[in-house]
Structure formats: structure tokens, C-alpha cells
Amino acid sequence: MRKIHCINAISKYGTDQFTEDYELTDEVNEAEGILVRSASLHEMQFSNSLLAIARAGAGVNNIPLDACAQEGIVVFNTPGANANGVKELVLAGLFLASRDIVGGIEWCKENKDDANIGKTAEKAKKAFAGCEIKGKKLGVVGLGAIGAEVANAAIALGMEVYGYDPYISVNAAWRLSRDVKHTTSLDTICQECDYITLHVPAVDSTKGMINKAALDQMKDGVVILNFARDVLVNEDDLAEALKSGKVKQYVTDFANPKSVTMEHTIVIPHLGASTEESEDNCAKMAVQEIMDYLENGNIRNS
């Protein structure tokens, strides 16, 4: 019987995929495989029995990759499995940044006892006027599974889309609408776009990529969306740019002590992949990867 330790928030529809040769165990020390979503494994002591870790999600920054490589533990992720879920929330972010939906909802709540709310609202609504995204320029930084989905959806909404990715694969390029303008220069994205959305992993070359130098190049009133990782943005530099009005809005899926206090910022508590569908897809892919490795030695998405 193969033993698998499941750390947190893995959809039961994923673990239902295990055959009768598998058993879920609470004892991490006896497990051959670990399934994990967002919990950090950086402090974990790995036992000799551990052969594989599957991260039910795209990012692997919660896993100590160097230590795993040293121990011969294979690490899988589930690229694309939650791409639609994240894309849909990014689109919501685009609309939240462009129309004052949050302000309008708050106003209605505050005025719920006003018997003439219909009439009062007609006067109040001027304050919540927004703009349309059709015809605006969107820069997609990173054209992996999620970035490609966002780019194609934005094209369908009538946006002019620029895609930045120095490492784009031929397959990913084929998935993209021909209307996406490719660039290998982040400067082009900064200089041209009205909206910039980040879809790259948190690695040494991307951490802090949105810093003062990048922000200074951007158009006045740019909107930045971050549904990838908070460390991609130097939040001190961004806070200054938000204060000065250089950046009109920041929409981030990462709540941290700094982001929740920044002006003109909409903070969501990492909900991009939190849909039933994305959770099921990620868990199923993670379980399949672990079983395929333990039984057949096959390695995909490692």
C-alpha cells in the first residue's frame, strides 16, 4: 500500500482518483508522496520514504526546490489546471479597476434606509463614473497558460493586447490569438499600455520587476493587476506611485500588511484559483502526476 500525505485544501475529487493501492496518511514521515496547495514546506524535514511532492497549483515557491533536488524528491505542479479560474478573476479585476463597482455597492449599503434612494442615487452616481476597457491597451507580462488565457479574453473584449514573454514556447504561441502583439521588451509594455497584468512565476529574475525604474516609464494613470505573486512588485515604490497618481489603481490577489494599507488599491485574499472547478482540476492533475510517477516512473510538469 502506497501512503500519501495530503497537507491542505486539496479537493476531495482529486484524492478520490487514488486507486485502492493508495492510502491517505496523517503521518508525513511514512509517506511516499505529498499533496499540497499553498502551505509552505520550507521548514519541513523530509523523510527517506518521500519520493514526490505535487503542488496543486502553478507556483512552486512554497516548496524548497534545492533541498528536494538534493534528496532526489521529484516536484510536480499543475500548469493550466486553474488557468480559467484565475483568468476570470483577472477579468473581474479589470472591470473593478475601470468601473467604481465597489464604491457604488458601498454607497447603496450606506444609504439603505433612505426611502427615496432611487432619486438620491441619480444624483450620487456621477461620483462613480468609470471608463470602458474596449480599445484600451493591455500589457500581459508572461504568456504561460494563465497569461495566454487572459490575453485571448482581453482581445475578445476589444482590448489591444501586448504580450511580453522572453521564454514563450511554440505551443503557447500557437494557443494565442494572432492579434496579440508580441514583445521581448518589458519597457515596451511599460511605455505603451494603459493596463498591465502580471503572469510570471516568482523567481530571481522577476522578483521586484515592477519597481521605480519600471513605474517611471509607465503612462500616467496606468492600472496594474497582480494575480501572480506579490513579490513581483516593489510595494514601497508602488505605494509612492499610487500616492502621486502615476498609477491610478492596483488590483492585487495578495493581502499583506503593506498592500492592505496602500491607496487606490483593491486587495483580494488570493482567490484566483479558488473555484470548485480549478480546485478539482488541480487536485486531479496532482494526483495523476504522483500515481504516474510512483507506478511508472513517468515525470511530467516537474
Q: List Cα–Cα distances, 225 to 76, 87, 92, 130, in angstroms.
A: 27, 12, 11, 17
Looking at the DSSP bridge assignments, the partners of residue 265 are 250
Cβ atoms of 206 and 226 within 8 Å: the answer is: no
Give me the least distance between CB of 122 and ligand MLT, in Å please. Answer: 41
CB of 81 to ligand MLT, least distance (A): 8
CB of 281 to ligand MLT, least distance (A): 11
E strands, 56-212, are 74-76, 137-141, 160-164, 181-183, 195-198
Least distance (Å) between residue 270 CB and ligand MLT: 6
Write out the three cell numbers for 140. Answer: 500581459
Cβ distance to ligand MLT smaller for residue 150 or 273:
273
Site string for ligand MLT, 271-300 (x = CB under 6 A): -xx---------------------------
What character string, x for contact with ligand MLT (CB under 6 A) and - otherwise, covers 4-43? Answer: ---------------------------------xx-----
- Copy the grid coordinates of residue 137: 491597451
Q: Which of 49, 171, 292 is nearest to 284 (CA)?
A: 292
Per CB under 6 A, the segment of 12-20, 91-99, 212-220, 268-276 that binds ligand MLT is 268-276
| Under 8 Å between Cβ of 43 and 239 | no
C-alpha span between 240 and 269 (Å, rounded)? 22
**Cβ closest to ligand MLT, residue 151 vs residue 218:** 151
Site track 43-82 with ligand MLT (rule: CB under 6 A), x = hit: --------------xxx----------------------x
Q: How far does CA 282 lie from the centroid of its chain?
A: 14
Binding residues for ligand MLT, rule: CB under 6 A, are 37-38, 57-59, 82, 270, 272-273
